[in-house]
């Protein structure tokens, strides 16, 4: 386990324009030292990249999520620096924010977000913009998941949880591929309304969606399976870009399954909208 040389080049969106907000995910077969990757991620919060409007870090410890965040530049945070030296976990989600919608720095608008759904706690962080989702007549929010801030990201998170609660059996011991197909359809629906790169976890799985800008790196060694996911490569190692619209699900550092969603238009699978059992 480890990280190669740091990269500090300015990253731009492949279709033009600078990437705003950045994600970091780590998933491993055992608790690992997250420090090498966190130290490379921290400068992205306002020093090496224009993401000065907040930072957040969520990770599992003792079977529960711990979350720390602040609406201040991550690159300047002594708290984040301390976490770089202390976090040992098998699942980590980090975010540095470039305020876009809205242009308000507050703890309520800072990722990652945490909510309860289906007897589990969920963590979510997002890169992109999906403000149009609020205009959908079907955009009912999960009970108990009213957004605390003003971001489209938190709204999209609550929308996902509403669809998960109604359409997916998160405790199912069979038909796992069917559940993944349903989740991919939900993601595809949201992605049709903007840019929707995200990380989400229920503590057991790390789910990553690369709408148009996300990378992964196999960080395994002889003792540990591990994957690192980031908006931009954080080292000179051989990072692999997600294919546009690719959904990847990890557990214990291993890729469990993946899907490819269609981008660009709302598809015809209206059952995801309906309040009827699939």
How far apart CA 240 and CA 221 sit, in angstroms, is 18
Residue 94, pLDDT score: 98
How far apart CA 38 and CA 21 sit, in angstroms, is: 15
Residue 222 has what pLDDT? 95
* Structure token pair of residue 21: 């907000």
Which of 39, 57, 216 has its CA nearest to residue 123? Answer: 57
> At which residue do the structure tokens 């540990």 appear?
224
pLDDT tens digits, one per residue of 46-74: 999 999 999 999 999 999 999 999 999 99
CB 232 within 8 A of CB 19: yes
CB contact set of 177 (below 8 Å; sequence gap of 6+)? 257
Rounded CA gap, 115 and 212, in Å?
A: 26
Question: Phi and psi (nearest 5°) for 98?
Answer: -110, 105
C-alpha span between 204 and 121 (Å, rounded): 10
Under a CB-based contact definition with an 8 Å cutoff, are residues 3 and 237 in contact?
A: yes
Tally of CB atoms within 10 A around 5: 10
Rounded to whole angstroms, how far apart are CA atoms 86 and 212?
A: 32
Predicted local distance difference test score (pLDDT) of residue 168: 76
What is the model's pLDDT at position 205? 97
- Considering all CA atoms of the chain, what is the largest pairwise distance in Å, rounded to the nearest integer? 52
The total of other beta-carbon atoms located within 10 Å of residue 69's CB is 24
Token pair 């930072």 is at which residue?
A: 55
Q: Are 24 and 95 in contact (CB under 8 A)?
A: yes
What pLDDT shows up at residue 165?
85
Distances (CA, A) of 121 to 29, 117, 212: 20, 6, 27
| Mutual angle of helices 176-191 and 152-167, in 10-degree steps | 150
Report, as ranges of residue numbers, the positions in the chain whose pLDDT lies below 70: 1-2, 4-19, 136-144, 169-175, 265-278
Return the pLDDT at 175: 66
**Alpha-carbon distance 136 to 24, whole Å?**
29
Looking at residue 16, what is its pLDDT?
A: 40
Show me where the domains of the chain are located.
22-272
Architecture of domain 22-272: 4-Layer Sandwich (3.60)
From 267, 90, 117, select the one nearest 187 (Cα to Cα): 267
Q: What pLDDT score was predicted for residue 8?
A: 45
């Amino acid at each position: 386990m480890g990280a190669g040389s740091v990269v500090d080049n300015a990253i731009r969106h492949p279709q033009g324009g600078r990437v705003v907000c950045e994600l970091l995910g780590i998933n491993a077969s055992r608790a690992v030292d997250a420090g090498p990757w966190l130290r490379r991620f921290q400068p992205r919060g306002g020093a090496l990249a224009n993401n000065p409007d907040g930072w957040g870090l969520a990770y599992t410890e003792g079977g529960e999520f711990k979350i720390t965040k602040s609406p201040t530049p991550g690159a300047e945070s002594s708290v984040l620096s301390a976490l770089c030296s202390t976090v040992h976990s098998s699942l980590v989600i980090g975010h540095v924010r470039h305020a876009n919608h809205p242009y308000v720095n507050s703890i309520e608008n800072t990722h990652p977000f945490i909510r309860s759904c289906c007897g589990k706690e969920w963590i979510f962080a997002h890169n992109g913009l999906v403000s149009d989702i609020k205009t959908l007549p079907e955009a009912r929010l999960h009970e108990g998941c009213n957004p605390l801030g003003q971001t489209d990201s938190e709204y999209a998170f609550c929308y996902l949880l509403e669809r998960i609660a109604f359409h997916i059996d998160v405790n199912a011991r069979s038909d796992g591929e069917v559940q993944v197909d349903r989740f991919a359809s939900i993601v595809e629906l949201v992605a049709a309304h903007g840019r929707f790169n995200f990380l989400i976890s229920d503590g057991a799985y790390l789910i990553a969606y690369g709408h148009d800008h996300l990378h992964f790196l196999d960080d395994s060694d002889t003792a540990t399976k591990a994957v690192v996911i980031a908006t931009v490569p954080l080292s000179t190692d051989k990072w692999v870009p997600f294919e546009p619209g690719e959904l990847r699900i990890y557990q214990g550092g291993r890729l469990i399954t993946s899907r490819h969603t269609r981008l660009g238009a709302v598809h015809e699978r209206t059952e995801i909208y309906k309040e009827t059992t699939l």
